[in-house]
Homo-oligomer: A and B are copies of this chain.
Amino acid sequence: MTTIDLNADMGEGFGAWCIGEGIDSQILPLISAANVAAGFHAGDPTTMSRVLREAARHGVAVGVHPSFRDLVGFGRRHIDASADELVDDTLYQLGALRELASREGLRLHHFKLHGALYMHAARDKTYATALAGALSQVAPDLSVYCLAGSALDRAAAEAGLNRVHEFYADRDYDDQGSIILVRRTDALDPQAVAHKVLTACRDGVVESISGRRVAVGFQSVCFHSDTPGALALIRATRETLEQAGFEIRSPRQQAA
């Protein structure tokens, strides 16, 4: 591996509110793929358009980041809805972003679910299958960012969609190589994170919370922009990767 994708959530404000004061504009030049909120947990149309324009300026690939309809809960709360309803909601958000991207001359690059809906698609085969089927119909060219081995991963594979597995830079791993998912983490040491990511990219291993070296396979490294000190983490990681000879590129740019 000599190229790697760095992705982060962008545009997770709403109207007058933003996540981190202007941190999006500082993170965008450092990543290769932006997951853009599309209105259900964050992301009004004007914020979406602003992020799209900035991403275009930096040559960052853009994807849609759909969520449960839950502004007050930031899409982090599971809502007990039918698979059909959730697919409808997901396509709605996809189309909304796609239209705004089209105005900016941008073609969407990927699809990555947000928060509780990301977890739901990782576990619920019915939704994962319905979603992958719908995507293969309306957006067969989008890469699906997902957890390796998850329900969505399998369903997307069966539907013939391109999948991008993720390594979570700011989360811990257990002895089975599974991410220990928490809503938010404390501030982390940038050098430690950079070293962890480099090891994972170069050697395909991560040190688990119990200290074991476990294998990990992925094509993209994910950072949470609401992790305290996210900017420093991403900057240190990018520098470390580049110094080690890695190029930061999205899957589409890698393919081109």
Interface residues of A (CB under 8 A from B): 13-19, 21, 39, 44-46, 48-49, 69-74, 76-81, 84-85, 88-89, 91-100, 102-103, 116, 134, 137-138, 226
Pick 30 A–B contacts, CB within 8 A, sort by A: A13-B17, A14-B71, A14-B72, A15-B71, A16-B19, A16-B76, A16-B226, A17-B18, A17-B74, A44-B72, A44-B88, A45-B85, A45-B92, A48-B88, A48-B92, A49-B88, A70-B79, A73-B81, A77-B81, A78-B80, A79-B80, A91-B99, A92-B99, A92-B100, A95-B95, A95-B100, A95-B102, A98-B99, A102-B138, A103-B134
> When chains A and B are docked, how far (Å) is the Cα of A78 from the Cα of B82?
12
Q: Of all chain B residues, which has the CB nearest A183?
A: B16
Give the chain B neighbours of A73 by CB distance below 8 A. 15-16, 79, 81
Ordered nearest first, which 10 A-B pairs have the shortest CB separation? A95-B99, A17-B17, A45-B88, A16-B74, A45-B92, A15-B72, A78-B80, A95-B95, A92-B96, A96-B96
Q: Is the CB of B79 within 8 A of A77?
A: yes
Contact B79 A39 (CB under 8 A): no
- CB neighbours (8 Å) of A49 from chain B are 88
**A16 surroundings in chain B (CB, below 8 A):** 19, 73-74, 76, 226
Kindly report how many copies of this chain are found in the complex they form together.
4
Complex Cα distance, B73 from A70, in Å, reads: 12
Q: How many Å from the CB of A37 to the closest CB on chain B?
A: 12
Chain B residue, CB-CB nearest to A85:
B46
Residue among A72, A78, A116 with max Cβ neighbours from chain B (10 Å): A72
- Minimum Cβ distance to chain B for residue A73 (Å): 6
Q: Which residues of B contact A78 (CB under 8 A)?
A: 79-80
Residues from chain B with Cβ under 8 Å of A93 in the complex: 96
A88/B15 contact (C-beta < 8 A), A73-B79, A79-B77, A98-B95 known: no
CA A46 to CA B227, docked complex, whole Å: 22
For residue A181, give the distance in angstroms from its CB to the closest CB of chain B: 14
Nearest to A89 among chain B residues (CB) is B45
Instruction: Give the chain B neighbours of A81 by CB distance below 8 A.
Output: 73, 77
A100 touches B88 (CB 8 A): yes
Chain B residues contacting A138 (CB-CB under 8 Å) are 99, 102-103
Q: Which residue, of A96, A100, A226, has the highest number of chain B Cβ atoms within 10 A?
A: A96
Min C-beta distance of A115 to chain B, whole Å: 10
